[in-house]
Amino acid sequence: MTRRLPTVGILGGGQLARMLALAAAPLGIRTVAFDPVADACAGQVTELTVAGWDDEAALGALAGRVDAVTFDFENVPAATAERLAGQVPVHPNAGALAVAQDRLAEKTLFRESGLSTPEFAPVDTREDLVAAVARIGLPAILKTRRLGYDGKGQFRLKTDADVDAAWSALGEAAGKHGLILEAFVPFDRELSVVAVRGRDGAFRTWPLTRNWHVDGVLSVSLAPAPGTSDELEAAAVAHAKAIAERLDYVGVFALELFVRGGELLGNEMAPRVHNSGHWTIEGAHTSQFENHIRAVLGLPLGDTGVRGCSVMLNWIGEMPDPAPVLSVADGHWHDYGKEAREGRKVGHATVCAPDAGTLRTRLAEVAVGLGREAQVAPAIEALG
């Protein structure tokens, strides 16, 4: 008789599915990614089903051969998740996914859970936009409620004269899914809490991560976030736990926060493994990817403690030369196997070190080798 290995279905076949598959393999856990796109990069390392989100036969076949289904992509249609949930455990649950898919529902939940947010207002019409600008003030950011990611579907308004341009850019999207206007927060820092909750309610977090975005896209993460007080860390973790419990969340998620004068404001929640947790592959005892797989299968969660400090550099558009990272001590290279394309996340590097000073030296060496001094500068400065 052939031994049947536990199997996890992953909706979406991008780099997150790829890294989930790579983390599952040593545990003897198989993965099957599901994606409408034939060259989805997870297909290079795991089985890939190429089918549409509404392909009944393909979804039924997936559900029939996996022990749990999860996501590498939160914008899977709710109907697809619900269809699968009728046949197999789906984690996170469809309700949690629905909240995290909608910026208005998400920010409303944050407030109900006691986490402050930037001022916001729903916008469905041009009149709503004018009224929201009058109430919230400028600068502000107009965002699509759904399907926006990595700074896409966003328009920054600086003066009243920008209302027309904002409406031309996003008015059509308002008709489909609605928009939200948010006050622009002059934050001191951006942090994320990457957390995991098990099927039994066990809850763990990795140390807070400091993040830098460029044009709305994550560029650099540094963990543990230097200069974070125990109080701030405890507050961030308590917010993440409260939100996870309200949603009966199972798996890894990231809560993205702005810090302004010691106050935490909730920006958004990613209901999946997250780019700001990629450093955990080499920098923590158990990575976010392994713990997500453990959580969705109901296995005990692993230790989220760290090995020193880590920095993660995102590669957007095209891969740089790997040599400077491969040459530095504790430097790690991740190429997602994707074609180069403007604005696309194609890979990342992580550099780890036992202490902040050593990490600073290693990072400076990598920056010079890659000619990426500007990208790395904020992390070098934060390392003191």
Q: Which is nearer to ligand AMP, 102 or 290 (CB)?
A: 102
Q: Which of 35, 102, 162, 182 binds ligand AMP (CB under 6 A)?
A: 182
Nearest partner of 157 among 192, 184, 128, judged by Cα: 184
Q: Which of 36, 95, 151, 378 binds ligand AMP (CB under 6 A)?
A: 151
Closest contact distance (angstroms) between CB of 245 and ligand AMP is 23
- Encoded tokens for 79: 């109907």
Site string for ligand AMP, 228-257 (x = CB under 6 A): ----------------------------x-
- Binding residues for ligand AMP, rule CB under 6 A, total 12
Q: How many angstroms separate the CA atoms of 124 and 98, rounded?
A: 19
Q: How many angstroms separate the CA atoms of 72 and 17, rounded?
A: 5
Q: How many angstroms separate the CA atoms of 143 and 148, rounded?
A: 7
Question: Would you count residue 216 as binding ligand AMP (CB under 6 A)?
Answer: yes
Nearest partner of 18 among 311, 342, 348, judged by Cα: 348
Helix (H, G, I), strand (E, B), or coil: what is residue 150?
coil
CA distances from 326 to 231, 312, 331, 334, 350 (A): 37, 14, 6, 11, 10
Q: Which of 62, 185, 243, 247 binds ligand AMP (CB under 6 A)?
A: 185
**End-to-end Cα distance, the chain:** 59
Closest contact distance (angstroms) between CB of 163 and ligand AMP is 17
Which range, of 77-85, 179-187, 237-245, 295-303, touches ligand AMP by CB under 6 A? 179-187
Q: How many angstroms separate the CA atoms of 10 and 41, rounded?
A: 13
Closest contact distance (angstroms) between CB of 171 and ligand AMP is 19
Is residue 235 a contact partner of residue 263, using CB atoms and an 8 Å limit? no
Question: Would you count residue 267 as binding ligand AMP (CB under 6 A)?
Answer: yes
Q: Which of residues 102-121 bind ligand AMP (CB under 6 A)?
A: 118
Is residue 204 a contact partner of residue 304, using CB atoms and an 8 Å limit? yes
- 35-66 in b/e form (b: 16+ CB < 10 A) is beeeebbbbebbebbbbebebeebbeebbeeb
Q: Which is nearer to ligand AMP, 34 or 253 (CB)?
A: 253
Q: Which of 73, 184, 203, 333 binds ligand AMP (CB under 6 A)?
A: 184
Q: Which is nearer to ligand AMP, 35 or 256 (CB)?
A: 256
Q: Which is nearer to ligand AMP, 268 or 290 (CB)?
A: 268
Site string for ligand AMP, 21-50 (x = CB under 6 A): ------------------------------
Q: Which is nearer to ligand AMP, 28 or 186 (CB)?
A: 186
Q: What are phi and psi of 119, to 5 degrees?
A: -55, 140
Closest contact distance (angstroms) between CB of 278 and ligand AMP is 16
Q: How many angstroms separate the CA atoms of 276 and 379, rounded?
A: 14
Question: Would you count residue 268 as binding ligand AMP (CB under 6 A)?
Answer: yes
Site string for ligand AMP, 46-75 (x = CB under 6 A): ------------------------------
Q: Which of 109, 190, 277, 297 binds ligand AMP (CB under 6 A)?
A: 190
User: Quick one: the chain helix, strand, coil %, rounded to 5?
Assistant: 40, 25, 35
Binding site for ligand AMP (CB under 6 A): 118, 141, 151, 182, 184-185, 190, 213, 216, 256, 267-268
